[in-house]
Amino acid sequence: MKKYSAELLGTFVLTLFGCGSAAIAGAALGTLGIAFAFGLSIVAMAYAIGNVSGCHINPAVSLGVLLSGKMSGKDFVGYVIAQFIGAILAAVVLAAIINASNLGGIATTGLGANGFGTASAVGLSACGAFAVEVILTAVFILTILGVTSGEKTGTLAGLVIGLTLTFVHIMGIPLTGTSVNPARSFGPALLLGGQALSQVWLFIVAPLVGAAVAALIWKCLNK
């Protein structure tokens, strides 16, 4: 339960601070600022809970670790449930903060939700969004599998993973808002409803496909 609690906490922090930065101060921070908010959240949590759960805080990461043979099926299910709960709780807290502020409500701020078509800043199609999310997630997960595979890079893993999440956000934010994390996408979409909720399937499925691709590449490279 300590591992699952750590995953809940870590996903809560990532979603609250990452999506919160986008929803509350996105116009001031811009793409780079939001990207660093997500990346630094990972860095902070990696060193806070990494020794407890490994700091996956993302169902796609957990799937990549499972498929690479480094995690049991039981823990995978527990991690994913905890991650979704953490993201939903974060979205609830973020919505409460926004509704208590003079920001125009959650529909105006968007809660940092992901989207395609009219919900994309550049009008990216569903097919384009799916491809983008698969690629960005695969790069992210492949980096995680690589940097956590040996003791030499273990101490720097949190920093490397955080910076990698930052750079995939730099490209992805204008396109889809960058998911690469089904839980982080589901929490805000659940609270927003409407278009965000109708599109969230893509941001659940595509990152999981990307994780599977990364695990396959990792296995091929390390035979």
The domain tally of the chain equals 1
Q: Which residues form the domain of 83?
A: 2-221
Q: How many CA atoms lie within 13 A of 156 on its CB side?
A: 9
Q: Is the pLDDT reported for residue 180 higher than 90?
A: yes
Q: pLDDT at position 138, please? A: 97
8 Å CB contact between 113 and 203: no
Residues 6+ apart with CB under 8 A from 195: 115, 118, 119
Amino acid identity for residue 152 in this structure: K
List of residues 6+ apart from 40 with CB closer than 8 A:
17, 162, 166
Q: What is the rounded distance in angstroms from the CA atom of residue 59 to the CA atom of residue 211? A: 9
With a pLDDT cut of 70, the percent of the chain lying above it is 99
Q: What is the mean pLDDT of residues 25-53?
A: 94
Minimum mean pLDDT range among 50-64, 124-138, 148-162: 148-162
Q: Comparing 68 with 209, which gets the higher pLDDT? A: 209
For 217, the token pair is 């590449």
| pTM confidence score | 0.94
Can you tell me which residue has the tokens 């599109």?
A: 199
Place of tokens 């973020």: 94
Q: What is the pLDDT of residue 175?
A: 97
Q: What is the mean pLDDT of residues 89-108?
A: 95
Mean pLDDT estimate for the chain = 94
Q: Find the helix or strand (DSSP H, E) in which 79 lies.
A: helix 73-99
**Is the CB of residue 29 less than 8 Å from the CB of residue 173?**
no
Mean pLDDT of 196-204: 97
Q: What's the pLDDT score for residue 150?
A: 74
Domain CATH code at residue 26: 1.20.1080.10
Confidence of residue 222 (pLDDT cuts 50, 70, 90): confident
* Average pLDDT for 154-158: 81
Mean pLDDT in residue range 147-173: 88
Tokens 């996408």 map to which residue? Answer: 185
pLDDT digits 0-9 by tens, 108-123: 999 999 999 999 999 9
Q: List C-alpha distances in Å: 205 to 30, 45, 168.
A: 27, 25, 18
CB environment 94-116: b (16+ within 10 A), e (fewer): bbebbeeeeeeebeebbbbbbbb
Tokens representing residue 91 in the block: 């979205």
| Contacts for 214 with CB less than 8 Å, ≥ 6 apart | 64, 137, 138, 139, 140, 141, 142, 145
Cα–Cα distance measured from residue 174 to residue 14, given in angstroms and rounded to the nearest whole number: 19
What is the percent of the chain with per-residue pLDDT over 90, rounded to a whole number?
88
Q: How confident is the model at residue 149 (pLDDT cuts 50, 70, 90)?
A: confident
Q: At what angle do helices 182-192 and 2-53 cross, to 10 degrees?
A: 140
User: Mean pLDDT lowest for which of 67-71, 118-122, 208-212?
Assistant: 67-71
What is the mean predicted confidence (pLDDT) over 86-97?
97
The reported pLDDT for the residue numbered 151 is: 72
Q: How many CB atoms lie within 10 A of CB 84?
A: 21
DSSP letters, 33-56, are: HHHHHHHHHHHHHHHHHHHHH---
What pLDDT band is residue 153 in, cutting at 50, 70 and 90?
low
